[in-house]
Structure 1
Amino acid sequence: MDLSTNKQPNFDNTEVAFRQKTNAELKKAFWLFKMIGNNFLTKVGPAITNFFLNIGLPVQGAIKVTIFQQFCGGETISECDHTIDQLNKGRVGTILDYSVEGEDEESIFDDTCTEIISTILRADGDSKIPITVFKITGIGRFALLEKLDAKQNLSQDEKAEFEKVKLRCELICKTAFDKKVPVMIDAEETWIQNTIDELALEMMQKFNKERIIVYNTYQMYRKDKLADLKADHLIAKAAGFILGVKIVRGAYMEKERKRALENGYPSPIQPDKETTDKDYNAALRYCVDYVEEIAIVAGTHNEDSCRLLTYLLDEKKIIHNHTHVYFSQLLGMSDNLSFNLADADYNVAKYVPYGPIKSVMPYLFRRAQENTSVKGQTGRELGLIERELKRRAL
């Protein structure tokens, strides 16, 4: 392959990064990140907002045109159409993510399963939506998964309940298989993750024989996940299926460390960011070494990891848009990575969360807190937006 024609992404190119945003949208994003950068607002805001929502004050409209609009596609799949089209103009795909959390009723799990299947049907035949996603806790009770992970005996009712969870999971993955639309299973807390991992491997063994359909998620801030990834690859190779791997750093660090401390067991989380980064990049190297046997979605807002993956692909003479390699970021964040990677012909897809505002608020608060807790994230976003505003002489 002639690599001399390969374009390299320039992550400092703000013109490409914000090409899809109007001047008004760019100014709104600037002031929103300014607000998010205020730690007091980020800490106190969730409690105040929830209070206002619970007593029925009309704050939803204000939320919808600010933080919701920045990080979410809409309240329904059809409301996401504008975002899908805008991302596609920059050659970035959409991952529709129904972001309703914390439910506990069988009827709601059935409804959520139906909605997840709707995202697959919406993606069917539409290259603008190359991948879909779901959480096992969206279709099953957290406490039940916790019992299974702890190897506790289940009652007959609980056994029947888990069979329903497995049936929902299989129905989603079978629909994905039938429609040839890949689906990712998101990672969750360590004390339910073993059950999720077992389900994901079972689904991959059923549906990944011919092509990549099901991905599991590996959180590299966990000490054991690089080894798990390699072990799962051996299982996949022996059983004759493609291993689907979404690699992320992780989303539950504070909760994990707190629970480990309270329950007197060693923290499953890496001792520092450097060790997490080391394992994340080692996972990228391993997956690229076996790119025909492992399909990767590199979920990251880390510029160094994105750059490393581009170098690895060129080093191995792998085409930029290989079907087994995707980059992924969240809507509203790191546009300098997403759009510049897409501009250099890499496969890129953004998570586009959607759902009723009140139900999506926990997701939105996590995004706001993530921007303040990840070192330099808010400052980086603000700096890039500010540079583009100056470039446009606004």
Structure 2
Amino acid sequence: MPLFDDTQTAFESKSDADLKKAHTLFKLIANPTLTKLGTIMFKIPFAADLPLVKPIVRRTIYSQFVGGETTAECLKVAKDLYQYGVSSIMDYSVEGQESEEEFDRVKDEILRLVKIAKENPKEIPFVVFKPTAFGRIDLYEKMGKNLPMTEDEKQKWQSIRDRFDEVCKAGFDNDVTMMIDAEESWMQDAADDLADEMMKKYNINRCIVCNTLQMYRHDRLAYLKKMFQKAEAENYLLGFKVVRGAYMEKERARAEAENYPSPIQPDKASTDRDYNAALEFITQNHHRISLFAGTHNEDSCQLLTELMQKHNIENGNHKIWFGQLFGMSDNISFKLGNMGYNIAKYLPYGPIKEVMPYLIRRAQENTSVAGQTGRELSLIEKEIKRRKGK
């Protein structure tokens, strides 16, 4: 049997009722028209602050993809997952902040997560944050492009640097790895520079700060190799979460509208090639680079297990992690956990209203990623059939 076809292990934690609910939800997501209509319908009542839709959302898409509204609810889910060898990354999935007060509030929440991770190191091995959760995207863009800033903007940029440093120092002091998400390409240069600054400062004895590479960008493999040469020369450790990417349509549309070359690979095969090449490069150089392979691609996960064997890296080596989103690809996560690999689910939490942008993106991505929803459905149906045949 292929490695990730083991539905008994994949859905061991799910009741029959859980499986049926997931089956219904993925059936709905599989229909692009329904997904688009649902996205519009969800936005209207939430914008008007009408509570009637909340129970529907909570019982469906929210319960499938989100750990809860609070850290306490989320931690309970994380502890349940860890019974099956699957760790979690509690992800405060609130987006769209604009004020300095909101940025400080998110920073304080990240610091609270560091304390939770320290107290629960096996269940919560990482803390994650988005650069734009700490400051406005236009400031990252200006900084990355060396554009002039007003005095007020300079002060706000310094506040961004201070927030980065405060949470990364907290990670260092508490021995918790901080994972920095990647975002849109036009702001990423400044975020990369900050991540590198933090890695050089805090990645002394082990990887405390981990940046993210989106391999649907055609320049990321070269960037990875350049950063390796820099870290070798300056003698500090690197950490990278490697993903395919999440902003493809937006990136291409902006490049076309503003008449600059698209940063996105010409086709999916090129993305897959560079993704797998990054896995190969990092495992070859795992003395210097720690890896979090965030992917729902079964071929890439299989490849990484083979690369680990090739380079004599034991299954539970702390420098190599696999990761998937909560509510998706349990056939990968639970199987790898069962085999002793390091595996963590991205476990979002937050108030339903504030997490809606994340949920809408999840539904849209499931619709747009070829074969993903169909694969989820086929595995669920296989397990339902297996249970009936007992």
Once the two structures are superposed, what CA deviation does each residue of 1:91-120 show, in whole Å capped at 9, x if it has no partner?
000101101111100100000000011111
Equivalent AA in structure 1 for residue 214 of structure 2: Q
Measure the CA separation in 2 of the matches of 1:360 and 1:145: 23
Find 2:3's aligned residue among 1, 5, 10.
10
1:332 aligns with 2:327: yes
- 1:238-253 matches, cutoff 5 A: 238-253=233-248
Once the two structures are superposed, what CA deviation does each residue of 1:100-145 show, in whole Å capped at 9, x if it has no partner?
1111001000000000111111010311111111001001111211
Equivalent AA in structure 2 for residue 201 of structure 1: D
Equivalent AA in structure 1 for residue 283 of structure 2: V
Find 2:104's aligned residue among 110, 116, 120.
110
1:195 aligns with 2:196: no
For the residue of structure 1 that corresponds to 2:223, the secondary structure is helix
Once the two structures are superposed, what CA deviation does each residue of 1:274-333 show, in whole Å capped at 9, x if it has no partner?
000000000000000011110000000000000000001111221011110000000000
Find 1:87's aligned residue among 69, 81, 91.
81
Q: 2:15 aligns to what?
A: 22
Measure the CA separation in 2 of the matches of 1:14 and 1:86: 18
Find 2:348's aligned residue among 344, 353, 357.
353
Runs of 5+ in structure 2 lacking a partner? none
Find 1:376's aligned residue among 371, 374, 383.
371
Measure the CA separation in 1 of the matches of 2:370 and 2:257: 26
For the residue of structure 2 that corresponds to 1:386, the secondary structure is helix
Once the two structures are superposed, what CA deviation does each residue of 1:132-163 show, in whole Å capped at 9, x if it has no partner?
11001001111211222232101111101111
Q: 2:284 aligns to what?
A: 289
Find 2:26's aligned residue among 17, 33, 41.
33
Once the two structures are superposed, what CA deviation does each residue of 1:244-276 show, in whole Å capped at 9, x if it has no partner?
011000000000000000011111100000000
For the residue of structure 2 that corresponds to 1:11, the secondary structure is helix
Measure the CA separation in 2 of the matches of 1:110 and 1:325: 32
Measure the CA separation in 2 of the matches of 1:312 and 1:22: 35
Q: 2:39 aligns to what?
A: 46
Equivalent AA in structure 1 for residue 97 of structure 2: E
For the residue of structure 2 that corresponds to 1:296, the secondary structure is strand
- 1:1-394 matches, cutoff 5 A: 10-57=3-50, 58-126=52-120, 127-393=122-388
Equivalent AA in structure 2 for residue 17 of structure 1: A
Runs of 5+ in structure 1 lacking a partner? 1-7
Measure the CA separation in 2 of the matches of 1:100 and 1:78: 17
In 2, are the aligned partners of 1:94 and 1:351 still within 8 Å (CA)? yes
In 2, are the aligned partners of 1:281 and 1:305 still within 8 Å (CA)? yes
TM-score by length of 1: 0.97
Equivalent AA in structure 1 for residue 186 of structure 2: W
TM-score by length of 2: 0.98
Equivalent AA in structure 2 for residue 44 of structure 1: L
Equivalent AA in structure 2 for residue 62 of structure 1: I
Which structure 1 residue ranges, 4+ long, deviate > 3 Å from structure 2? none
In 2, are the aligned partners of 1:20 and 1:89 still within 8 Å (CA)? no
Identity of aligned residues (%): 51
Give the drift of 1:54.
2.0
In 2, are the aligned partners of 1:9 and 1:341 still within 8 Å (CA)? no
Equivalent AA in structure 2 for residue 78 of structure 1: A
Once the two structures are superposed, what CA deviation does each residue of 1:334-378 show, in whole Å capped at 9, x if it has no partner?
000001011111100000011111111111111111111111111
**Paired residue total:** 387
Equivalent AA in structure 2 for residue 148 of structure 1: M
